């Protein structure tokens, strides 16, 4: 006998409360998206590998180790998306979306990374994503962060999620800071971890978020970006923080928060919470003014964020399960035939209804109660003869006769 097929490692199937939690996160995202005027957008799950290699950097762990990449039947190198931003940037160029600038878009769906599955992390996971493409002003960053802040509040995480905020400056700032960091870490290279020594020449900024304990004292003594901010970069960050204060978005400065890739500018941020125990990031993003240029497009400022749906779903209160408005309990073949007509009429009238066709009267009523329905509609031979059903309020136990054609209006009151 063949064995039962199992799910691929790192993939998940959801039912019941887990699926309801997932939907609750997506529904809240869609409500807030609409409030902030972000348009829905859909991009393919599959892109040319170069879309991600060029935008995420050939040498990053995601590109070199974690992407699901393969050659398709036409010999083209393709990749299941590990994130949304690169695909949206590609579509912005190839689909002619430049005509819509300033473009505010939001989407959600699956993404894929081949990494070790752990609590709240899967190889197929799901993200919320929001982007503003076109504006170079800090008002766009404020708008995007206010969207994220309100979403977390709607999910009941407003008290625990803290916005950690930093500036990466403009290109001149970043170049000066990078040189100073390289000089600092090079002077301490013997004490650095192996990973940090590898990053030294390639990208010294990434040493700042090293997880190796031996690097932390050296990181703590590293020069901060504030020492190198140009007047323009300082003004941008000042306008951003003042705008967040006016919008009522609580934030904390995180001077070591960085983004390694060169196309990031100015704003970098993460919303951090300890709701799952250890402190973790639930939503993160930044301004990526140089990304679209890496795909061969014109200089196009942009800012965006992404959040993991699974992690958010684990942190929210369990939503109330969906329940039918009415459960129909027919007794006898004639009643079952009439019930089939009735349930179709009720559903067309916007009444959520279920139909119990198995077991005796007692068992069917037990199932009606277990379903959480507000009402049971009981139909037997005498009800058919009278042209009415017994409508039972399952909370109070009150029961009365109601004509078949009036049931929808009675239940919908």
The pLDDT value recorded for residue 61 is: 57
Enter the tokens of residue 68.
Answer: 């699901």
SS3 385: helix
Other C-beta atoms closer than 10 Å to the C-beta of 284 total: 18
Single pTM value for the model: 0.88
The pLDDT value recorded for residue 257 is: 87
Contact 239, 224 (CB under 8 A): no
Contact 233, 170 (CB under 8 A): yes
Contact 80, 270 (CB under 8 A): no
Residue ranges, comma separated, of all CATH 3.30.930.10 domains in the chain are 17-170+230-315
Residues belonging to the binding site are: 83-85, 113, 127, 131, 259, 263-264
* 140: phi then psi, degrees, rounded to nearest 5: -65, -40
CATH classification of 326-411 is 3.40.50.800, yes or no? Answer: yes
Residues belonging to the binding site for L-histidine are: 83-85, 113, 127, 131, 259, 263-264
Contact 18, 312 (CB under 8 A): no
Residue ranges, comma separated, of all CATH 3.40.50.800 domains in the chain are 326-411
Distances (CA, A) of 213 to 74, 248, 258, 305: 47, 36, 18, 28
Residues of the chain with pLDDT under 50: 59
Q: Taking the domain 17-170+230-315, which CATH number applies?
A: 3.30.930.10
Whole-angstrom Cα distance, residue 70 to residue 90? 19
């Amino acid at each position: 006998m063949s064995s039962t097929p199992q799910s691929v490692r790192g993939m998940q199937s959801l039912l019941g409360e887990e699926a309801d939690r997932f939907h609750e996160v997506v529904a809240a995202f869609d409500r807030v998206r609409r409030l902030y005027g972000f348009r829905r957008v859909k991009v393919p799950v599959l892109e040319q590998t170069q879309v991600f290699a060029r935008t995420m950097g050939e040498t990053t762990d995601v590109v070199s180790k974690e992407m699901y990449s393969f050659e398709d039947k036409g010999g083209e190198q393709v990749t299941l998306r590990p994130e949304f931003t690169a695909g949206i940037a590609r579509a912005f160029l190839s689909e002619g979306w430049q005509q819509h600038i300033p473009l505010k878009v939001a989407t959600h769906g699956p993404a894929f990374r081949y990494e070790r599955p752990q609590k709240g992390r899967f190889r197929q996971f799901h993200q919320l994503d929001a982007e503003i493409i076109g504006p170079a002003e800090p008002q766009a960053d404020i708008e995007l962060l206010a969207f994220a802040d309100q979403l977390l509040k709607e999910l009941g995480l407003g008290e625990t999620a803290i916005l950690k905020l930093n500036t990466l400056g403009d290109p001149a700032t970043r170049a000066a800071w990078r040189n100073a960091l390289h000089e600092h870490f090079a002077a301490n290279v013997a004490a650095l971890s192996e990973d940090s020594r590898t990053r030294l020449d390639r990208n010294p900024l990434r040493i700042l978020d090293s997880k190796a304990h031996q690097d932390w004292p050296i990181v703590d003594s590293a020069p901060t970006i504030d020492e190198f901010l140009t007047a323009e970069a300082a003004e941008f960050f000042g306008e951003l923080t003042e705008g967040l204060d006016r919008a009522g978005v609580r934030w904390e400065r995180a001077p070591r928060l960085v983004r390694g890739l060169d196309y990031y500018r100015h704003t970098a941020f993460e919303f951090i919470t300890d709701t799952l125990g250890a402190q973790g990031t639930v939503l993160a993003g930044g301004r990526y003014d140089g990304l679209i240029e890496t795909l061969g497009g014109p200089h196009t400022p942009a800012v965006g964020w992404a959040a993991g749906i699974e992690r958010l779903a684990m942190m929210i209160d369990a939503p109330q399960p969906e329940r039918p408005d009415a459960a129909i309990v027919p007794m006898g073949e004639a009643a079952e035939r009439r019930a089939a007509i009735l349930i179709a009429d009720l559903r067309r009238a916007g009444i959520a209804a279920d139909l119990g066709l198995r077991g005796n009267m007692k068992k069917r009523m037990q199932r009606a109660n277990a379903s959480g329905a507000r009402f049971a509609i009981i139909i037997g031979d005498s009800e058919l003869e009278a042209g009415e059903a017994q409508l039972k309020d399952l909370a109070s136990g009150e029961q009365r006769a109601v004509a078949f054609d009036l049931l929808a209006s009675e239940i919908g009151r």
